[in-house]
Structure 1
Amino acid sequence: MPKIAQIFNNNVALVDLDNRGQAVVRGRGIAFQKRRGDVIPTKQIEKIFYLANETSRQNLYFLLKNIPIDVVTTTYEIIDVAQKQYRLKVLDYIYITLSDHIYEAYKRYQAGTYQETMVPDFHIQYPAEYAVAKQALQIIATNLGVQFPQSEIKNLALHFINASGEDDGEQVFGKSNEASLSQLVQEVLKRHHITRSHSNGNYYDRFMIHLQYLIDRLQRVDTYAVTIVPEVATELKQNYPQSYKIASEIFDEIKDHLYRSMSEDERLYFIIHIQRLINEAPAQNHSQNDSL
């Protein structure tokens, strides 16, 4: 029987499992008037999210420092759907990046400052990721009471595209490589007068998290496999020329100095991150994409 290790609120708790580590459980009133060590009857548990290894536990505690538990469990539910219903394999860092994105979008929506995304549409190339994102909108609406526009699907899908890969349970990148990569990228950004500010802080931090796990990601996936078709690359280059230029500088320098076998897909992920960071609008001569 699951025993309470930590109570987050009346409806969510961290529990110890019999010989199975720990899990986050959710259910209406399951922790009400309970204390650490109390047993939660399994019939009261509506959702259970297993923490399979130490990395999973560290991710959870990292998230709980800054993000409400309801957003965290919503993220876990979405990733659970991706893995079980759509058989998507994703790296563990998606728990951090997706939780952060949902919470920041939620706050902007509540404050009336939410803006629809200009991220390109990759639904033809990534049908499973977009199907997950579409279902994620429904989960967010149910759990958090927020009705994001349909365009938010592109943002959510991008997190699954970026985090594609298979974890072996622990991170394998070295701190020295991570520091070198971060320094290299920040030097390129500074050449283009891009630094972290109050207005771009969320996107800057999100890009740094992507970079933090880049070497780990490259060591787990087929770096020679290009999954984004050339037409998408051409569209991005035409619609976001400045973002393409900066992203290409970053891509080329990483290949030249750190990781020569990096896939061309990474260049395109960089473009999207940079486009968000500098808020580059689509080129006027490609107005058919203005709604992206």
Structure 2
Amino acid sequence: MLTVKKVLNNNVLIADHPEYAEVVLIGKGLGFGKKPGEQVAGEIAEKFFVLKEAKEQEQYKQLLDYVDESFIGLMNDIVEIVEERFKVRLHEHIHIALTDHLFYAIKRVKQGLDIKNPFLPETELAYPKEFTVAAEIIEYISNELNIAIPEGEIGFVALHIHSALTRRSLQEVNRHTRLISELVQVIEDSLQLKIDRKDVNYLRLIRHLHHVIERINNGQYMDNQDSLKKVLQSEYPVCYNLSWKLIKIMQQALKKAVPDAEAVYLTLHLQRLSKQ
């Protein structure tokens, strides 16, 4: 038996759990007539998950004002799929953020509105595992609700999954994705070419940029390539100068210094791309 702490509605309540502390219990009629301090049998709940912080509990309560219980149940199945695929316990906020996002995404689809995602290729390249699971989730929802959800939504769900796995805010993850898209546009404009998004050199560049951003943010960038800088500056002046333009954009966006060594790596990537 668990002790009721807070009733969110007739079907959802927060209770004290002997192992997980505060948990959210979901089940038809589970909260009806219940009051704080009363006992409730945990096994009659259809779903339960941990939602520790008071702020998260309040946000979840607001979510229940416009999201019906059947969709809440579907979302908990989805979170379980993600946790099973990655063998982790996700940050509790995904129950709120992903539920809210998908609820409105599906609402737009039902209204006949298209979902466009200009960062879909970059997201797949940067987070391939998250993207694969997101594709599985979108297919699962489409089958459960008998609705055709556009492919672009896979990218958005992948970002939510990555945010929950890394405990980084979705805003930060989105900023990095947009930054890389901006860098690619600068490269295309400067070299006057249209990059083939399936080209292996493009794939390497995108992965490299994501890796660089993470290392800079974590303060783990320690490379030194002084011996190569002068050689590349002489051999490939256009790509070398462009590499510094990209570095300045990254520094402004990240508000952190990008080591000079990055000019070497970027120049090599740009030179491969310029051969197109």
- CA 1:5–1:90 in structure 2 vs 1: closer, same or farther (change >3 Å)? closer
- Counterparts in 2 of 1:138-153, with a 5 A limit? 140=141, 145=145, 147-149=147-149, 151=151, 152-153=153-154
Q: Which residue of structure 2 aligns with residue 58 of structure 1?
A: 55
Change (3 A) 1:93 1:6: closer
CA distance in structure 2 between the partners assigned to 1:260 and 1:153 by the alignment: 33
Q: How many residues align?
A: 190
State the Cα deviation string for residues 62-108 of structure 1 (Å, max 9, x = none).
24335636456654543343233323576665455423321321332
Aligned to 1:10: 10
Task: Tell me which amino acid in the other structure corresponds to 1:85.
Answer: R
| Contact 1:137-1:148 within 8 A present in 2 as well | no
CA shift digits 1:104-157 (9 cap, x unpaired): 2133234332435444234465343133323433564587x4624251222211
- Post-superposition offset of 1:25: 1.3
Superposed, which structure 2 residues align to 1:179-190 within 5 Å? none
Give the whole-Å Cα distance in 1 for the aligned partners of 2:15 and 2:62: 19
Residues 179-209 of structure 1 show CA distances to partners (whole Å, capped at 9, x for unaligned) of xx9xxx9xxxxxxxxxxxxxxxxxxxxxxxx
User: Which residue in 1 is equivalent to 2:109?
Assistant: 109
**What one-letter code is carried by the residue in structure 2 that aligns with 1:62?**
Q
Once structures 1 and 2 are overlaid, which stretch shifts more, 93-102 or 68-77?
A: 68-77
Quick one: which amino acid aligns to residue 160 of structure 1?
A: I
SS at 2:39's partner residue?
Answer: coil
SS of the residue 1:8 aligns to: strand
Aligned to 1:29: 29
Determine helix, strand or coil for the equivalent of 2:36: coil
Provide closer, same or farther for how the CA distance between residues 88 and 251 of structure 1 changes in structure 2, counting only shifts above 3 A: farther
Is the Cα contact below 8 Å between 1:11 and 1:26 reproduced in 2? yes
Q: What secondary structure does 2:86 align onto?
A: coil
Larger Rg: 2
1:252 and 2:248 matched:
no
Is 1:42 matched with 2:39?
A: no
Q: Which amino acid in 1 is paired with 2:135? A: K
* Partners of 2:67 and 2:14 in 1: CA distance: 14
Separation in structure 2 between the aligned mates of residue 250 and residue 11 of structure 1, nearest angstrom: 50
The two structures have a TM-score, normalised by structure 2, of 0.51
Map 1:209-248 → 2, pairs under 5 A: 222=218
Which residue is 2:161 aligned to? 160
Which residue of structure 2 aligns with residue 81 of structure 1? 81
Which SS does the other structure have where 1:35 is aligned?
Answer: coil
Following the alignment from structure 2 to structure 1, what is the Cα–Cα distance between the partners of residues 107 and 8? Answer: 21
For the residues of structure 1 that align with 2:76 and 2:258, how far apart are their CA atoms? 32
CA RMSD for the aligned pairs? 4.3
Q: CA deviation at 1:3?
A: 2.3
CA distance in structure 2 between the partners assigned to 1:146 and 1:5 by the alignment: 37
**Contact 1:14 / 1:23 at 8 angstroms: preserved in 2?**
yes
Matches of 1:163 and 1:45, distance apart in 2: 25
Q: 1:136 to 1:14 in 2, by over 3 A?
A: farther
Q: Which has the higher contact order (CA 8 A, sep 6+)?
A: 1
Q: Deviations over 1:228-263 (max 9, x none)?
A: xxxxxxxxxxxxxxxxxxx998743144xx33369x
- The answer as to whether partners of 2:91 and 2:164 remain within 8 angstroms in 1 is yes
- Which protein is richer in helix relative to its size? 2
d(CA) in 1 for partners of 2:56, 2:76: 11
Mapped to 1, the partners of 2:132 and 2:36 lie a distance apart of 39
What secondary structure does 1:65 align onto?
Answer: helix
Distance in 1 between residues matched to 2:247 and 2:89, nearest whole Å: 27
Q: How far apart in 2 are the matches of 1:48 and 1:142?
A: 24
Corresponding residue SS for 2:8: strand
Structure 1: stretches of 5+ with no match in the other structure:
172-177, 186-216, 226-246, 265-292
Alpha-carbon distance change, 118 to 26 in structure 1, aligned in 2, over 3 angstroms: same
Task: Report the CA distance between 1:42 and its aligned residue.
Answer: 2.6
Identity of aligned residues (%): 22
CA contact (8 A) 2:247 2:258 kept: no
